[in-house]
Amino acid sequence: MAERLSLTSAFSSSSMASLSAASRLLPSATKAARLSLSTPSPSLSSSSSSLKCLRSSLLSPHLLLRQRRSAVHVAASNFGTVASPKCFASDPDQLKSAREDIKEILNTKFCHPILVRLGWHDAGTYNKNIEEWPQRGGADGSLRFEIELKHAANAGLVNALKLLETIKDKYSGVTYADLFQLASATAIEEAGGPKIPMKYGRVDTSSPDQCPEEGRLPDAGPPNPAAHLREVFYRMGLNDKEIVALSGAHTLGRSRPERSGWGKPETKYTKDGPGAPGGQSWTVQWLKFDNSYFKDIKERMDEDLLVLPTDAVLFEDPAFKVYAEKYAADQNEFFKDYAEAHAKLSNLGAKFDPPEGISIDDGPVTAAPEKFVAAKYSSGKD
């Protein structure tokens, strides 16, 4: 228990403000308000795999049935040898249920942006030049530990962890590493973005001394933004196209001076929330995932919209500009490239069990646009 940040303290005042704004907007928010966010969890530390198997079987009769079926099959074909049930890093049935719970939180708290940032900051520490796991960093759940949450780049992300805490408590058969990536991909899809071709089964780091050192995530205002972005993202094994596509995630969310030091304290687009009011957004409808980020940073017509130095360079650097122009002109191109890049980001550095990963989507996964729900709340417009 001592190994993880205690999340038992009362919700922060900003989170409470979020909740009350959301309640005004949606009646079902009151249901979410009843969720207890102060219950300590016994399940957060690493547990032995046998215990985890037992818990996940208890929670998932479907899984148990499947395991029995497979044991019977193996016994018949192997002349009576008893098959021991195999438990993977995460349980598919629990992943699916957790996804529904995440949707409920998104619909009541409008926290899509911070959940996307949580997934990105867990994965984005990956260093392709280090072979060993977990020293190489990446999507391994290490961002749950206080030591990493306290890195300057992660300011404010403790609120994202608090939002997911009840879900982690409920589904012990879902690793943190999977939960962070599940929450991020679900947030993109629920905000109207493309379907992300995700896989699951990420293994968690087990102790704070496995966290990466500070300084692996990008700065927003380095002396040479293009060179800095390339240095950081190439280290992750990502290319120019993926840098530009992934930067498009800033179509969601806000920057807050009290967290990152960037952005205005509030604008006409953020002063009423939803969620905790304030901050400066990159786009007008900052809960809608579309290509307006590229249109807005290209035009720079609105003083109330944010353009970081690392955003501006996407239209200044000749190689980045090819993609930025394409995405500003064609949302389908952006969605296609974004979905692929997001899935790749979510897998960086991850150790999968089973090695091929787990799919929780039925049928082939394509990058088609999904339904859109929350955007109208981000600007007060219909």
Which residues sit opposite 191 in a β-bridge? 372
| 78 CB neighbour count, 10 Å cutoff | 10
Q: Does 274 bind ligand HEM (CB under 6 A)?
A: no
Site for ligand HEM, residues 162 to 181, rule: CB under 6 A? none
Residues 322 to 381: which contact ligand HEM by CB under 6 A? none
Among 255, 267, 270, 347, binds ligand HEM (CB under 6 A): 255
Q: Assess 138 for contact with ligand HEM (CB under 6 A).
A: no
- Please say which residue, 109 or 256, places its beta carbon nearer to ligand HEM: 256
Q: How far, CA to CA in Å, does 347 sit from each of 46, 102, 185, 356?
A: 21, 20, 12, 11
Stretch that binds ligand HEM, among 56-64, 173-181, 252-260, 366-374 (CB under 6 A): 252-260
- Residue 247 lies near ligand HEM (rule: CB under 6 A): yes
State in angstroms the smallest separation of the CB of 253 from ligand HEM. Answer: 3
Q: Give the closest residue to 358 by CA, choosing from 171, 100, 90.
A: 90
Q: Which amino acid appears at position 15 of this protein?
A: S
Residue 113 makes contact with ligand HEM by CB under 6 A: yes
# of chain residues touching ligand HEM (CB under 6 A): 22
Task: Kindly state the greatest CA–CA separation across the chain.
Answer: 74
Torsion region of 204: left, alpha or beta (phi above 0 gives left; psi -120 to 50 gives alpha): beta
Phi–psi pair at 302, nearest 5 degrees? -125, 115
Q: How far is the CB of 252 from ligand HEM (least distance, A)?
A: 5
| Residue 292 engages ligand HEM in binding (rule: CB under 6 A) | no
Nearest to ligand HEM by Cβ — which residue? 253
Rama region for 158: left / alpha / beta (φ>0; ψ in -120 to 50; rest): alpha
Output 117 or 351, the one with its CB closest to ligand HEM.
117
Q: How far apart are CA 26 and CA 18, in angstroms?
A: 12
305 near ligand HEM, judged by CB under 6 A: no
The token pair that represents 293 in the structure block: 């980020």
Does the protein bind ligand HEM through residue 278 (CB under 6 A)?
Answer: no
Q: In terms of CB distance, is 259 or 295 closer to ligand HEM?
A: 259
The piece of 30-38, 72-80, 191-199, 255-263 that touches ligand HEM (CB under 6 A) is 255-263
Per CB under 6 A, 201 contacts ligand HEM: no
Tell me if 250 contacts ligand HEM by CB under 6 A: yes
Compute the distance between CA of residue 350 and CA of residue 61 in angstroms, rounded to an integer: 28
CB crowding 271-304: b at 16 or more within 10 Å, else e:
eebbbbbbbbbbbbbbbbbbbbbbbbbbeeeeee
Q: Which is nearer to ligand HEM, 107 or 260 (CB)?
A: 260
Binding status of residue 21 toward ligand HEM by CB under 6 A: no
Binding status of residue 310 toward ligand HEM by CB under 6 A? yes
Helical segments of the chain, H only: 13-25, 29-33, 49-59, 61-77, 92-109, 112-123, 146-149, 158-170, 176-190, 225-235, 240-247, 292-299, 309-312, 318-329, 331-347, 376-379
Between residues 144 and 256, which has the closer beta carbon with respect to ligand HEM? 256
Cβ atoms of residues 344 and 242 within 8 Å:
yes
Q: Is 287 in the site for ligand HEM (CB under 6 A)?
A: no
| Sole window of 25-33, 139-147, 205-213, 242-250 interacting with ligand HEM (rule: CB under 6 A) | 242-250
Residue 250: active-site member: no
Q: Which of the residues 73, 112, 121, 250 is marked catalytic?
A: 121
Nearest distance from C-beta of residue 126 to ligand HEM, angstroms: 12
Exactly one of 246, 339, 348, 375 binds ligand HEM (CB under 6 A); that residue is: 246
Residue 53, beta-bridge partner list = none
Q: Which residues bind ligand HEM (CB under 6 A)?
A: 113-114, 116-117, 120, 156, 218, 220, 229, 246-247, 249-250, 252-256, 259-260, 262, 310
Catalytic residue numbers, as ranges: 121
